[in-house]
Chain A
């Protein structure tokens, strides 16, 4: 079965520190991976998806098929990055996105 694992419920860092939010997936086909972000009391919004290979707000994520991972990284965290981050998986024939349980990122001054 397809599954997305985000092992950290909470990640707390200081401003300026590097950030890595972990995401592992389970899917035997060719995956499409997404990162969604939810700022406090706001709607979820797409942060980035692997096929676009963009850097959004300084965040990047590389799909590693060997390790079945799609970790989200930022070299220098900012306070405004504090939010819930959800990793999501899709693939050929999927009828929905499969979301992970989310990681709360807290960036302290």
Chain B
């Protein structure tokens, strides 16, 4: 059983388009996260949700909008994609914010 899953695995799109990435966890965790890993492998947290409530928004452009329909899902919608949005986006979950985080396989987004 996959603990944290993301779809799609790869996403290639044109500048200006709108796209979504989905994340699901079956670990029963309360907290979910979105991270961005850039070409230099820097890992930056974008958002964190606890029990469907937003608790962290790390100065991310408002073109990025997370949505948590329930505790097990955290989706990321991106409007008006820009070249600089090209990166690998990881979803993660944990029981508590201070606990071990379990990561999804990542979504490699390429904006042309």
> Which A residues form the contact surface with B (CB < 8 A)?
32, 34, 38, 42-46, 49, 84, 86, 90-92, 94-97, 99, 101-102, 104
Contact = CB atoms under 8 A, between A and B. Distances in A.
Interface residues of B, number: 21
Contact of A43 (B56, B90, B97, B98): B90
A45 B103 contact: yes
A91 B100 CA distance: 12
Nearest to A42: B105
A85 B103 CA distance: 14
A38 B88 CA distance: 13
Contact of A34 (B55, B100, B103): B100
29 contacts: A32-B98, A34-B100, A38-B41, A43-B90, A43-B103, A43-B104, A43-B105, A44-B43, A44-B90, A44-B92, A44-B103, A46-B101, A49-B100, A86-B43, A90-B97, A90-B99, A91-B98, A92-B98, A94-B97, A94-B98, A96-B33, A97-B45, A97-B97, A97-B101, A99-B43, A102-B41, A102-B42, A102-B43, A104-B41
